[in-house]
Structures are given as structure tokens and as C-alpha cells.
A and B are shown apart, each in its own frame.
Chain A
Amino acid sequence: MVGLIKPFEYLLVIILQNSLMFIEDQALVVQFKSASTKEAAYTNLVKKYQEKLYWHIRRMVVEHEDANDVLQNTFIKVWNGLASFREDSQLYTWLYRIATNECLTFIEQIKRKSVINFDDIAEDFSNKVKADANFDANRLEWKLQVAIQQLPEKQRVVFNLRYYDEMPYEEMSQVLDTSVGALKASYHHAAKKIEEFIKNS
């Protein structure tokens, strides 16, 4: 009986935490839709999600200046689109979806401007990682960063969301509009490739 209570409590805590987050986000959306509380709600929303979204973007675009630009574009889109947010998905997944799309758009622009192929882009981003002032080739954390840049963009997103943001596959499916099965397979391949790269580097 005692053994059953703990998992039940755990489940209850998960439900409560998710509900609280959901209610808090709902309140922010409602406040944003009212003219008198729009700016305050927006500021609170930015402060709540800025760090998570920043690092998600930075892992994709590598450099801080680029991450700053993409993050600004993301939040401008949030300002423009939040009033018509349908609430059929969680606010959190909606934000991640915008940020991810902005990252992919940014990367596409780089490809078009420089007319280079995928392998060169991977090399380009790896070089940006290595150009960081704190880069240490001997540290596994830096080797991991370089390895992640070898992945195709979509696989990189999947790996980052699962490994760093600890996002459940169901939520990731809403962010990337991909089936859970495909995401699991993608994560599996990404992790294998990264390990292979680190072992061989």
C-alpha cells in the first residue's frame, strides 16, 4: 500500500506542477489581451522564458550576437502573435516552436548568402564553437558542442530539446510537428553519431 502511494504522489505532483504552469501561462495570455495589462504581461512572459529560449537558440546558431538577433526576432513575433494565440497547445511549446523556426530560417539565410553546402555549414558552425574565448578542446563539454554541430539541423534540434531542455517527446512533437516515433528515432541516431564523433576525435 505504501509502495503505491509514492508513485501516486509523484503523479499528483507532476499534474499539479503542469497545471500551475498552465494556469500561470493562461493568466499571462489573458493579461496580454487586455490593453491595460498588455505590456506588464509581455515583460513577465519575456522574463520567464528568455533564458530557456536563448540557450535553445544559442545551441543552434552558436554565436551570442546571432543568438541575440534571433531571440529578439522570436519575441517580436510573440508580441505580434500572442493576441491570436489559440491555446490549443501550451504557450511553452508555442514559444519553442517560434524560436526553432527562427533558428532554422536564420541558418537557411546563412546558406543562401554564402552558397555553401551542408558539410561546409557544419564545418562553419564547428569553427564558431572553437572560436569561443573559453574553448577547451580537452574538455568533453566542448567536444560535445563541436560534435552536435556535425548533425543536420533538424536532428540537432531534436537532440538539444531532449538532452538539454529535457522535453518529453509528446511536447517535442507539438514544437516540431513530427510524430513521436520519428523523434525517438532521430534522437537515437543523433546520440549515436555524437558518441561516434567524440570517440574518434
Chain B
Amino acid sequence: MKMNQKNTLLVELKSIAPMVASINNKMPQQLPLGYFETFAEKILVLVKQQSEGINDGNELNDIAPLLNQLSRKPVQSLPQGYFESFSLSLPKQQSTVVKMPLMRKWMTYASAAIVASILVTVGFLYTDKSNLSFDYEQYSKINISSAINNLSEDELVNYLNSASSLNVSNATIDAELINEYEGNFRNIEDDEMLQYLNENGEKPIKKAS
């Protein structure tokens, strides 16, 4: 296979540069003797050093070569048998754990409950409940159309002026729409009004006699 591949390459090169094809392609440079015999072992040592992060001293050679020549053994002396007799002495006394008295715990819970109940009660008492109830019975007795007929024109005008200035949930109300709605309400019969109130009210409303 190699011979055939070689032949293919030779044919190719002959077609491009016949003179180059005729040259022996063996490298003329020499190698140090035994270079490849020891290379694999050397490179393994290098990669292991790199993995273990060992400094082989080359770095120090560039910065301070004298330091590389000094011994790295400590020069200070130790008392004889120091490490043989070395032991950790732990304190015998344990720190006391202070428990909170049970009575005091219950007192704390009770006082918190009292404060909470006071706040709820106050809040309940001082809330304005007048707006919450709606006396349907009282209003069901009113004859709406006759009551409106009894109103004077000035009263109606005043009512309309005050109603138009009301801010209904931040929505701008078209004046034309207001007039349309007022017109529509005038056309609603009492029976229809009562039926509407009954369907949507909380208490059944009886028709006024």
C-alpha cells in the first residue's frame, strides 16, 4: 500500500516539478545520538511535574540563582521530644446552657395575643358601618316617579349639576351619554325598576301599595 501511495505521489510531483521529484527525500539533518530512546521518559517526567505543580527550580534560576543553591531545611531548633509529647489540652468545663423559663415563654405568647385582639377590636369598633347596610325596605316604599314629579326644577338642576361633577371611578363621562342615560331612566316603569332592584338587591322588596 505504501509503495502504491508513494508511486501516486511521485506521479503527481513529476507532473508539477520533475526536478524536485528526482531528489532523494531523506532528511539530510542529523540527530543527537539516542535522542528518541530517552525522549518518552523525559516528557513523562515533565508532564508529571506539570500536573503536580512541582517547580524544578528553573524559575528561580532566572530570578535569583543563589537561592536555588541554598538548603531548604529549617535552621531553628526545637526542644527535644517536642512532637512526641505534644497533645491538645481541651477545657474540661462545658459552658452552661441557660434555658428560658417556661412561664416566661407563656407570658410572652399571652401578651402578644392580647395586643393583637386589642388592635382587631379597635379596628372593628371604629370602622364606619353606616355605608355598609342598605335599607331596602325603606326605599321600596318610595314611589319614585311621584317623588321625582314633586321635585322642583331648581332642585333637579342642582342635582344634575352636582352629579355631573362626581368623579365616577376616574372615568370621564361624556355629557351626551349622561343625557342619554337620564332619558332612558325617565322611560323606565316603576314595575321594571322594582323588578331590577329585587333581582339585584340583598332582600326581597315588596311593591309599594
On whether A50 and B26 interact (CB within 8 A), knowing A43-B44, A191-B16, A195-B17, the answer reads no
Residue B6, interface by CB 8 Å: yes
How many residues of B are in contact with the other chain, CB < 8 A?
32
Q: How far is the CB of B208 from chain A (nearest CB, A)?
A: 93
CB atoms of A163 and B13 under 8 A apart: yes
User: Interface segment, A22-30, A87-95, A112-120, A134-142?
Assistant: A134-142
CB atoms of B19 and A195 under 8 A apart: yes
Determine which of B13, B25, B44 lies in contact with A191 in the assembled complex, contact meaning CB atoms within 8 Å: B13
Q: List B contacts of A79 (CB < 8 A).
A: 47, 50
Residue A76, interface by CB 8 Å: yes
CB atoms of A14 and B1 under 8 A apart: yes
Residue B66, interface by CB 8 Å: no
CB atoms of A141 and B17 under 8 A apart: no
Q: How far is the CB of B33 from chain A (nearest CB, A)?
A: 12
Residue A164, interface by CB 8 Å: yes
Residue B114, interface by CB 8 Å: no
Q: Tell me the complex Cα distance, A199–B43, Å.
A: 42
Interface of A is mostly: helix
Q: List A contacts of B28 (CB < 8 A).
A: 132, 134, 136, 139, 141-142, 145
Residue B30, interface by CB 8 Å: yes
**Residue in B closest to A142 when the chains form the complex, CB atoms:** B28
Q: How far is the CB of A135 from chain B (nearest CB, A)?
A: 8
On whether A198 and B1 interact (CB within 8 A), knowing A134-B30, A163-B13, A166-B6, the answer reads no
User: Could you list 12 A-B pairs, sorted by A, with CB under 8 Å?
Assistant: A10-B4, A43-B41, A47-B36, A64-B29, A72-B43, A72-B46, A80-B47, A133-B30, A141-B26, A164-B25, A187-B16, A195-B18
In the A-B complex, the 3 residue pairs with the closest CB atoms: A195-B17, A191-B17, A79-B47
Task: Beyond the given A166-B2, A188-B16, please list 12 additional residue pairs across the A-B interface where CB-CB is below 8 A.
Answer: A43-B41, A46-B43, A64-B31, A72-B42, A75-B47, A79-B50, A144-B23, A163-B25, A164-B27, A195-B17, A195-B20, A198-B20
